[in-house]
Chains A and B, each alone.
Chain A
Amino acid sequence: MGSIKRISKELTELTESPPEGIMVELADESNVYEWRVKMDGPEGSPFHNGKFLVKLSLPTEYPFKPPTVSFATKIYHPNVTNDEKGSMCLGMLRADEWKPSSKIAAVLQFARQLLAEPMPDDAVEGRIAEQYKNDRTRYEEVAREWTRKYAC
């Protein structure tokens, strides 16, 4: 299994020098395909001071197939589904956009960046996207409230 080698390599890299605001660990030490990521809400965003639990699952075909990212913590965000799955839509994770040369670190950093700058045109929650575009203050209010409620 070549993928295990790569995954453990990436895991080692990420644990040794974690990117800002991101902490990774395996959900289960015996399974390298399921990661638990603790993500700090980026400063300047309504998610600041929140700690979000993100699940990253890697397919066995990784790196030929993209990983999936989902928020275990509820979050008010146009690009994260507002259900128990909390799946996040990332452009780079779409099957036809994914490159094997992309690394998990890049995926996570991109995900965190998305918290700071939502992409309403690529949204999975149309209502939140609408609000983000038209009524930013209200959006930030709700997002902050949710962060306080669920992510602290």
Chain B
Amino acid sequence: MSASVTASTSLPDSPRPSRLRRFSQLRTYTQNLSSLPGQSYRHSLSSRIPWRSSASDSVSPPTNSTAPPCPEPDHPPLSRYTSAPAPSYGFAELNSQVSSTESAASTPSTSTPSNNVTRTPNSMARLRSSSAVHRPPPRTLERATNSQESTPSPEPAAVQNNVIQPTSAPAEGQETPSKPDTKATIRFFPYQDSLQSSRPSLPFVPIARTLPSESCVIRVGRYSERDGIPPPNPTEPSDAPVGFKSKVVSRKHCEFLYVNGQWHIKDVGSSSGTFLNHMRLSQPNMVSRLYSIKDGDIVQLGIDFRGGEEMIFRCVRIRIECNRSWQQQPNEFNKNTESLIKNLGKGETSDYSGCRECSICLGSVLRPYQCLFMAACAHVWHYKCISRLLHSPDYPMFQCPNCRAFTDLSAEVDDSNDSEEKRDKEPTEDRTTNNSGEQLETEGPSVVETNSLEGPSDQLEDLAEEHLVNNVENLHLQDDQQTDDTRSTASPAPNSSTDNLARSATINIPGWQPTQPLSVPSGRQSQLRTDTPVRSETSDDNPLTPRNDSGPLAFDGRAGMP
């Protein structure tokens, strides 16, 4: 949160008229209030800070220079990235701060000094922004994408133009679920051969890769300390090499490529061989041709050495999972399941297409008051029925008995989809208050894209500020009222202020990204307002801070009283 405070206080044109200052106070206020800090932070970032000129210079890039350049210098996205100038890093760094405060960001590797990893915060933040924010604020997003995909040009207008190209794809599959996700994803799971009573293969954490672009290659080889540990499950597109700690895996063993919409594997001259469904791809130390692979294929790297007694001499058996991205995006089935779960026990068991019976006991999962388990693929069983498969020797790996999708049950909880869920609900639950807020947000991107940063949008911002200042006044009033009322249960008062905010949200300001309270569902909003807000302590004449004449420990409601 400190980031956001500095962000708004370190505005270059700092001596602002007081009403503007109050505006920024409002902003910090809402930020402190909000339970979704990234959101408002981002808004303030995207709308206010001339990043390239001020902040980026002061923020030093992370320790990227120490990172060993990735093996192949001819690797386009990486090298482009390394050549990207400071601003992007500054941005990335700040974002990483945010995301680490936002939620214990699930990638443990943000500090690892490798090229691939330094990318993580940047686009992780990008992903986060696209998901945490109800509609991604285009400018922020685009700057992130831009720094990654082309060298940013100094003048903003050009940047904006650059960015309209479809590659920026603000939210992959999130904003427009209808748009197919073109990114190629592949996942590697440890596979134990159940038929032959052979020795277990090398255990490893499941690995996922989503190619940043089709020309990328996932190199597989022996793990080496020098390369650092690539994140097994990066949250953003990555072609980081995959390493296995086994001596039977060559340093350069094989590669996974995505050609013409199809995944392929190729042995790149391994000494102990790459096997695709038990077939060896090439002679020792020979490069093989491309072999297409499909979901469920088994790839084995090397052969057990010395009987595989020691872990380090075990071969690697990988079960491939690919072409399953359709399953990870909203589709009819899992949306149905979602509504099924929402309506559990409400007696609306009518039209859920797909299996609404537990495929194990063939009983209904629709009856209320029973323990259910839903896998990532949205198949549902009774917990009692499925528990056998959950608590198997393979735990934490779970294979869906219906569709055979593998899930890592110990995987970090990915909360980046929450906002999507919220967005889905919002139109129904919040239509009354948020209608035009929605509209406003949907047209946000296009407006901003066509405008340059300076000029018209400044006017717009002025407008917005004026408008917000009004809000501040209202808030001020409401606040007094509220603090007066604190001893009685505070719920009525917040409602009125909620209404107030909601009403203000219906005023359509093109190009203005509404600050956070405008877009949260009213339920949460009132909740926020009932919670004693964390006041901004940046200035004395903060209109939102109630006077406290009774001493520092008077938090019982007397504070605001004259």
Q: Which residues of A contact B (CB under 8 A)?
A: 2, 5-6, 9-10, 63-64, 95-96, 99-101, 103
Residues of B within 8 A of A (CB): 194-195, 355, 359-363, 384-385, 388-389, 401-402, 404
Contact B402 A6 (CB under 8 A): no
Q: Are B194 and A96 in contact (CB under 8 A)?
A: yes
15 contacts between A and B (CB under 8 A): A2-B384, A6-B361, A6-B362, A63-B359, A63-B360, A64-B401, A96-B195, A99-B359, A99-B404, A100-B360, A101-B355, A101-B360, A101-B401, A101-B402, A103-B362
* Complex: chain B residue closest to A3, CB-CB: B361
Q: Please determine whether A95 and B194 come into contact, CB atoms closer than 8 angstroms.
A: yes
When A2-B384, A64-B388 are in contact, do A9 and B362 touch as well, CB less than 8 Å? yes
Cα–Cα, bound, A10→B388 (Å): 21
Q: Is the CB of A2 within 8 A of B401?
A: no
Chain B residues, Cβ within 8 Å of A101: 355, 359-360, 401-402
Q: Are A5 and B361 in contact (CB under 8 A)?
A: yes
Ordered nearest first, which 6 A-B pairs have the shortest CB separation? A101-B359, A100-B401, A101-B402, A6-B361, A100-B360, A9-B362
Contacts of A96 in B (CB 8 A): 194-195
B399, closest chain A residue (CB):
A99
How far apart are the CA atoms of A119 and B123 in the complex, in Å? 51
Q: How many Å lie between the Cα of A2 and that of B401 in the bound state?
A: 16
The complex places the Cα of A5 from the Cα of B361 at a distance, in Å, of 7
Question: What CA separation (Å) do A5 and B389 show in the bound complex?
Answer: 18
Q: Which residue of A is nearest B384, CB measured?
A: A2
Q: How far is the CB of B371 from chain A (nearest CB, A)?
A: 13
Are B195 and A99 in touch, CB under 8 angstroms?
Answer: no
Closest to A2 in B: B361
Q: Are B385 and A2 in contact (CB under 8 A)?
A: yes
A96 to B298, CA, bound (A): 13
Kindly list chain B residues whose C-beta atoms are within 8 Å of the C-beta of A103: 362
Across the interface, which residues of A come within 8 angstroms of B385, CB to CB? 2
The distance in angstroms between the C-alpha atoms of A100 and B194, with both chains bound, is 17
A5-B363, A63-B360, A101-B359 known, 5 other contacts, Cβ within 8 Å: A6-B360, A6-B362, A63-B359, A64-B360, A100-B359
If the complex has contacts A99-B401, A99-B402, A101-B401, are A2 and B194 also in contact, measured as CB distance less than 8 A? no
Of chain B, the residue at the smallest CB distance from A101 is B359
Report B534 CB to chain A, min CB distance, Å: 51
In the complex formed, the residue of B with least CB distance to A10 is B362
- Cα A5 to Cα B384 with chains together (Å): 13
Q: In the complex, A92→B323 CA distance in Å? A: 23
Please state if B402 and A2 are interface contacts (CB–CB under 8 Å): no
Q: How far is the CA of A59 from the CA of B242 in the complex (A)?
A: 41
Question: Which chain B residues border A10 with CB–CB below 8 Å?
Answer: 362
**B194 contacts which chain A residues (CB < 8 A)?**
95-96
B393 nearest CB across to chain A (Å): 13
For the complex, give the distance between the alpha carbons of A95 and B193 in Å: 12
Chain A's closest residue to B193 (CB) is: A96
Which residue on B lies nearest to A100, using beta carbons? B401
Residues of A within 8 A of B195 (CB): 95-96
In the complex the two chains form, what is the Cα distance from A63 to B404 in whole Å?
15
**Distance in Å from the Cβ of A138 to the closest Cβ of chain B?**
35
Max chain A CB contacts within 10 Å: which of B359, B389, B404?
B359
* Contacting residues, chain A, for B388 (C-beta < 8 A): 64
Question: Are A2 and B362 in touch, CB under 8 angstroms?
Answer: no
Contacts of B355 in A (CB 8 A): 101
In the bound assembly, the distance between CA atoms of A99 and B400 in angstroms comes to 9
CA distance A26 to B401 in the complex (A): 27
| Contacting residues, chain A, for B359 (C-beta < 8 A) | 63, 99-101
Alpha-carbon distance A99/B386, docked complex (angstroms): 13
In the assembled complex, the Cα of A85 lies from the Cα of B359 at a distance in Å of 30
Question: Within the assembled complex, what's the spacing in Å between the Cα atoms of A120 and B446?
Answer: 61
Chain B residues with CB under 8 Å of A64's CB are 360, 388-389, 401
Chain B residue contacts of A2, Cβ below 8 A = 360-361, 384-385
Please name all residues of chain A whose beta carbon is closer than 8 Å to the beta carbon of B360 when the two chains form the complex.
2, 6, 63-64, 100-101
CB distance from B377 to the nearest CB of A (A): 12
Q: State A6–B384 Cα separation when bound (angstroms).
A: 13
Tell me the complex Cα distance, A5–B382, Å: 14
Task: For the complex, give the distance between the alpha carbons of A9 and B505 in Å.
Answer: 56
Query: In chain B, what residue has the closest Cβ to A95?
Result: B194
* B382 to A, closest residue via Cβ: A2
In angstroms, Cα B203 to Cα A35, docked, is 41
Shortest distance from the beta carbon of A102 to any chain B beta carbon, whole Å? 9
Closest Cβ of chain A to B45, distance in Å, is 48
A2 to B386, CA, bound (A): 11
Closest to A102 in B: B359
In the bound assembly, the distance between CA atoms of A34 and B181 in angstroms comes to: 48
